[in-house]
Homo-oligomer: A and B are copies of this chain.
């Protein structure tokens, strides 16, 4: 399918929001209503999906993973653009349909893009968003860097096994949870878990000038993790869970746990600590260096 036909295929499915210029010009144009957050996220054949995965599922993953970064700021999405480098063996309209379905699900208009050929399927989704006013009128983005030593590390759901199960193709951006958390002043830092808890907790701690201590037996293990495996390692290192990792003032934890309105419960999995580094408490209660550094995409 030629570029022009693909653009027509997409254009027929999208409606521009009011006072917004969408697909078809040199740029899209919109009127931001305040501070804006933006993220760009790439998925590549053979690294983030397999050649035999369904085209629409791959598109959906690209969109969902990008949206997850907006959710991780506690924000809501405002718009997205897609850059698609697509070999002719891939079904470009199906990829775009998968992207559009996920963007639509989260009320994020597709406002532009660029399509080219290529030897390898590469999809870059760029999404931007705005802060949401919480119950008390608070309106902020939650960064990775606001955590303090002593804060609890909390995750919003079970981890591990997403690659083997195919769940990595269906990331769920935690918008409602992220916005709820952003409205809590005692939530000091937040990020989404894409590279695995061990690697991502290190990023949050480093950004905040802290170290962290993990309680491996507290890490919630996803049903996708096979029983006869090192389940804790899988939960800490597999990655692509897209749950939120949150640093919480410890004295507020009981309040927070009671107020939490979502069915999937929160889990405390460790602390931020003064000493720079990644540590865990082993089964004999000793503090030792964390043996895993998590997954880094090559």
Using A31-B35, A35-B30, A207-B24 as known contacts, say yes or no to A40 and B114 having CB atoms under 8 A apart: yes
B-side contacts of A59, CB under 8 Å:
none
Tell me if B297 and A46 are in contact (CB < 8 A).
no
Each complex incorporates copies of this chain amounting to: 2
Tell me if B26 and A73 are in contact (CB < 8 A).
yes
Q: Which of A122-130, A164-172, A232-240, A252-260 contacts B (4 or more CB under 8 A)?
A: A122-130
Verify if A223 is at the interface (C-beta below 8 Å from B): no
Tell me if A26 and B126 are in contact (CB < 8 A).
no
Using A29-B37, A112-B38, A120-B119 as known contacts, say yes or no to A44 and B85 having CB atoms under 8 A apart: yes
Tell me if A30 and B41 are in contact (CB < 8 A).
no
Distance of A100 from chain B, by nearest CB (Å): 16
29 contacts between A and B (CB under 8 A): A4-B296, A25-B191, A25-B207, A26-B73, A26-B191, A27-B37, A27-B70, A27-B75, A27-B141, A28-B37, A29-B35, A29-B73, A30-B35, A32-B32, A38-B112, A39-B81, A40-B124, A40-B126, A42-B83, A42-B84, A42-B85, A44-B118, A48-B116, A83-B83, A117-B297, A118-B122, A119-B120, A120-B122, A122-B122
| CA of A31 to CA of B35, assembled, Å | 4
**Residue of chain B at shortest CB distance from A46:** B119
Identify which of B30, B48, B126, B207 contacts A36 (C-beta below 8 A).
Answer: B30
Interface size on A, residues (CB 8 A): 65
In order of increasing CB-CB distance, the 10 nearest A-B pairs are A27-B37, A32-B32, A124-B124, A26-B72, A83-B124, A42-B83, A26-B69, A40-B81, A27-B39, A117-B298
